[in-house]
Amino acid sequence: MSVTACPGCATAPVSGPAGGRGAAQMEVPTHHLVLPGIHCAGCISAVESTLLKQPNINAARVNLTKRRVSIASEPGLDPTPWIAALSRAGFEAYEAGALEERQGDDLILPLGVAGFAMMNVMLLSVAVWSGAVDSTRDLFHWISAAIALPATAFAAQPFFRHAWSALRVGRLNMDVPISLAIILACGMSLYEVMHGGAHAWFDAALALTFFLLIGRVLDQRLRRRARSAADDLAALEPARVTRIEGADKISRPVAEIAVGDRLWITAGARVPVDAVLEDAETTVDCSFLTGESDPVTRTEGEPLHAGEVVLAGPLALRATAVGEDTTLRRIAQLVATAEVSRGHFRSLADRAAAIYTPAVHIISAGAFLGWLVATGDVRMALNVAIATLIITCPCALGLAVPAVAVAATSQLYRRGLLLTSDTALERLAGVDMVVFDKTGTLTERRLTVPPALSSEAQSVLRALSEASDHPLCRGIAAGLQDVSPAPLTDIREEMGEGVRATWRNSLVFLGRRTPTDATVVLRIDEDETVLPAVETLVPSAKDAVAGLRALGLKTAMLTGDTAENAERMAEEAGIDRVWSGERAEAKLDIIEGLKAEGERVLMVGDGLNDHAAINAADVSIAPGSALDATRNAADIIIVSGDMTQIPDAIRTCRLACRRMKQNFGIAAGYNSIAVPIAVLGFATPLAAAVAMSTSSITVVVNAIRGFRS
């Protein structure tokens, strides 16, 4: 969404990914480079095409959101020649981990300097505009020069650096006309002051720098990078594992494990590699793959997958797949590949910048040549060209998107939605189909109290449930508010098992029946009562689906649960279409298939098995209760947990896109009036500064209109 400097903006193809090897299915990446200066789809094509011309590179894919490029090559190769090639193409690049980008914060000081200097110079300019002449005017001009020249030289460095990075490789970008306007305005102002001229442009140069820095800061604040979902998945793999070596059990790095090795896993540990169970029986949490929270029983000879959690142990496994061949690594690679697909999204501002950049240069150059031919006065022609550059410089265009984005993002946050992606507004506004995960997203699992349970047993049940923070216990306690809790002693909670206590010299327990049986029971001495589990829609799910359908959107459910459960929940929620029994790879294929059919897909999910689908969708949302890794992968997080905020968010994003387009219209209307005035030589320094500032203020006012609530 940026209109900031990027060497690929004006000249590189912007229709999508680079062709050839870069557009094919991405191989396993061996190198990652940080690209702090990329901002648009043109940069993506330019970077990928540059790298694909280098020897030993099999594939290259850019992730615009993370500002990184993943390269598939031979492991261990020195990336220095690739970095040099990107530098020759005008792109700053560093090996990942060597130097991370620091953008946004480093613009605050230049912004403050520009604003402070602008206010002081404009105070001096008021005296000149009010009629100061001769030596008094010259004195004010010299004081203005003393303030403005060093302040501008410092504050405009971000524009100068990026303009030079493009010019030195023969490209243009938005910072080239900005830098030209600032340099020429300061240079001609100094020349006029030295020769006793009546006009100086210092205030205009500072105002231009100040307003553009505001837009740049707003834009960079929206580009705060979230951690990669693929990185979060990689973090699920244990660094070490216990290997059975004869009669000994030795801790070894996971990288040393080979197919056929026997491993010793304790309860609560994650399975480090794909393996088969050698013990008689165990239970595992496989929500990583299926999204379903109920534990699954595995018997001897059955497979266990990397990333699953062992609930009953210790136990022995035999490795069947290690390294990049494990289920966990394959899903992480799916996610990494899906992440880059949305990086090719081209924002409204990028499309406007591709037209605006050459137009500014052509108009200004035409004004200079026209006046030079008509008058033969180089000084006059140069002044007109400077006025044209200043009056057409993209202050309004630079604020058009960031100002709206900040206003819309702030309103969404007040409603309990947090945006983590800089292009989420535009992508969410364009969706026409919403795909939901089921368990944990649309539904919640609750334990029910049997009607025949005695009042004393209910009293004990409430006391035990209130002793734990487990979600199921909180649900029980909420349903027994009319029951007085029993006085318990010796209360203790055993992780993964349940809550134990003493009541009237009796041992009472609430939790799993056995380590291998996940049925939840209430036990008072030897008397055991099963608490049936039921799945229900979250309270806001039905209204959320109705709201989406009212907006004309199609809805679907994509779940790893059984067809019976999925169909029942979908019918209750009012969802149109259902896919059931699907694992992570299949979910990704379904989302890709919908996109191939022309659907613009919003994916709403909360589990690790939703990662690839979330990243492959055009835009994604995760509830606040989702796993950390899933929240990091999503574009929007529903902090409040209220699913009815989804249709509200889409309405807000549609309004935001209308405001962005209106702001582009304001900028175009401003230029249609201001450009002829400047080209015809009627723009004084005061007129240029006022016109530029007025257009910027108008854009900001329009941006916040309608977003206050």
Helix (H, G, I), strand (E, B) or coil at 241: strand
Token couple for 117 = 């200097």
Other Cβ atoms within 10 Å of 139 Cβ, number: 13
Token couple for 632 = 């990091």
Bridge partners (DSSP) of residue 558 are: 579
Catalytic residue list contains 437: yes
Token couple for 483 = 């029951």
For the chain, report the end-to-end CA distance as a whole number of angstroms.
25
Q: Taking CA 218 as the corner, what is the angle to CA 217 and CA 220, rounded to the nearest 5 degrees?
A: 65
3-state secondary structure 537-573: ECCCHHHHHHHHHHCCCEEEEECCCCHHHHHHHHHHH
Q: Which amino acid is at 681?
A: G
Helix (H, G, I), strand (E, B) or coil at 497: coil
d(CA 61, CA 254): 28
Q: Are 224 and 408 in contact (CB under 8 A)?
A: no
d(CA 137, CA 124): 9
Helix (H, G, I), strand (E, B) or coil at 294: coil
Closest CA to 69 of 103, 105, 26, 106: 26
Q: How far is CA 473 from the centre of its chain?
A: 34
Q: Are 259 and 243 in contact (CB under 8 A)?
A: no
Residue ranges of the alpha helices (H) in 608-681? 611-616, 628-633, 645-679
Closest CA to 316 of 256, 403, 245: 245
Catalytic residue, candidates 437, 561, 606, 642: 437
Strands 274-277 vs 315-321: parallel, antiparallel or unpaired? antiparallel
Token couple for 254 = 């996971």
Token couple for 687 = 């007129």
**Widest distance between CA atoms in the chain:** 108
Helix then strand count (H, E) for the chain reads 23, 27
Token couple for 667 = 């900028």
Q: How far is CA 227 from the centre of its chain?
A: 9
Strands of 266-334 (E only): list them. 274-277, 281-285, 296-299, 303-304, 309-310, 315-321
Token couple for 90 = 């005008």
Residues designated as active site: 437
